[in-house]
């Protein structure tokens, strides 16, 4: 019950903060000129290369704080997320047109340790709803009960491409973007067509614009621990040919 209430508060708090923002105000969030990369107009880029890169992100604590910190590897810097019986998310408010344009998101991630689960892994089970890595795309509506969320997860056992409904809300759809235990501790890059995923998950075109992006590692249900890394989150639009 605690987690369900907290998640509801987290999502609705973002929705409430975004209601009333006009599409013309988008430049308030994006001061740099858009750049083009691989036929994609990049609107917002999070390289996590600076030591204070997380200061622009806000945190919502569900149950204890996950340790999110910038670390330097041999060839890149990244956010490391370490959860020990805890759940907290980092989110960033922004504005992307999802009704008239074709938004896309890409990111890199790596998992060192998955939560230990006793039951068979499921997208819709509340009692062990822990995942090593999650990335959220949030679509706020004027009436928050109509708002939608796409949640991309890295599952240890569920098949890639599987779609399920969150145990907390029918308006939150989970998509298995990556599957497997990652024994070699490799980095993987994901590129997702948000509009196409929305259609698959909800059975209709995007009804609302994107209002926030978030990521989270959590282990409060299993009472175990998890260790994941995130890097190079990009959001933008597919270029029209």
Query: Alpha carbon of 153 to those of 4, 42, 218: distances in Å?
Result: 18, 23, 11
Task: Kindly state the helix (H) or strand (E) to which residue 78 belongs, with its residue range.
Answer: strand 77-84
Q: Cβ(88)–Cβ(72) under 8 Å?
A: no
**CATH second-level architecture of 2-238?**
Sandwich (2.60)
pLDDT confidence of residue 5: 45
pLDDT confidence of residue 7: 53
- Angle 19-239-204 from CA coordinates, rounded to 5°: 50
Alpha-carbon distance 136 to 91, whole Å?
A: 9
Alpha-carbon distance 234 to 241, whole Å?
A: 21
Alpha-carbon distance 150 to 148, whole Å?
A: 7
Tokens describing residue 44: 């917002």
Task: Kindly state the helix (H) or strand (E) to which residue 194 belongs, with its residue range.
Answer: helix 194-202
- Which residue is it, tokens 């370490």? 82
Report CA dihedral (171, 30, 50, 192) to the nearest 10 degrees: 40
Alpha-carbon distance 32 to 22, whole Å?
A: 19
Strands 77-84 and 225-238: antiparallel
pLDDT confidence of residue 144: 81
Strands 87-96 and 58-63: antiparallel
* Stated pTM of the model: 0.86
**What are the residue boundaries of the structural domains of the chain, listed by start?**
2-238
Burial 161-177 (b: 16+ CB within 10 A, else e): eeebebbbbebbbbbbb
Alpha-carbon distance 173 to 167, whole Å?
A: 10
Per-residue pLDDT of the chain (241 residues; tens, 9 = 90+): 445 545 555 555 555 544 433 332 332 233 333 444 457 899 999 999 999 999 999 999 999 999 999 998 778 899 999 999 999 999 999 999 999 999 999 999 999 999 999 999 999 999 999 999 999 999 999 888 899 999 999 999 999 999 999 998 999 999 999 999 999 999 999 999 999 999 999 999 999 999 999 999 999 999 999 999 999 999 999 976 6
Q: How many CB atoms lie within 10 A of CB 21?
A: 17
């Amino acid at each position: 019950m605690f987690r369900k209430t907290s998640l509801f508060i987290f999502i609705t708090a973002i929705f409430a903060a975004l209601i009333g923002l006009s599409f013309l105000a988008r430049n308030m969030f994006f001061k740099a000129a858009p750049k083009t990369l691989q036929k994609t107009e990049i609107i917002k880029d999070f390289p996590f290369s600076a030591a204070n890169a997380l200061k622009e992100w806000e945190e919502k604590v569900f149950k204890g704080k996950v340790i999110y910190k910038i670390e330097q590897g041999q060839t890149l810097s990244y956010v490391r997320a370490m959860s020990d019986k805890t759940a907290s998310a980092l989110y960033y408010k922004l504005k992307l047109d999802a009704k008239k344009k074709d938004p896309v998101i890409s990111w890199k991630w790596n998992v060192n340790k998955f939560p230990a689960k006793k039951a068979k892994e499921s997208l819709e089970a509340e009692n062990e709803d822990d995942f090593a890595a999650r990335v959220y795309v949030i679509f706020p509506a004027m009436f928050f009960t109509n708002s939608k969320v796409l949640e991309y997860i890295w599952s240890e056992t569920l098949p890639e491409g599987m779609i399920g409904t969150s145990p907390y809300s029918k308006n939150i759809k989970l998509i298995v973007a990556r599957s497997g235990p990652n024994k070699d501790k490799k980095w993987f890059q994901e590129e997702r067509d948000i509009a196409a995923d929305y259609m698959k998950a909800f059975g209709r075109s995007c009804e609302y614009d994107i209002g926030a992006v978030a990521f989270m590692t959590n282990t409060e249900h299993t009472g175990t621990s998890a260790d994941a890394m995130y890097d190079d989150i990009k959001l933008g639009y597919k270029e029209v040919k």
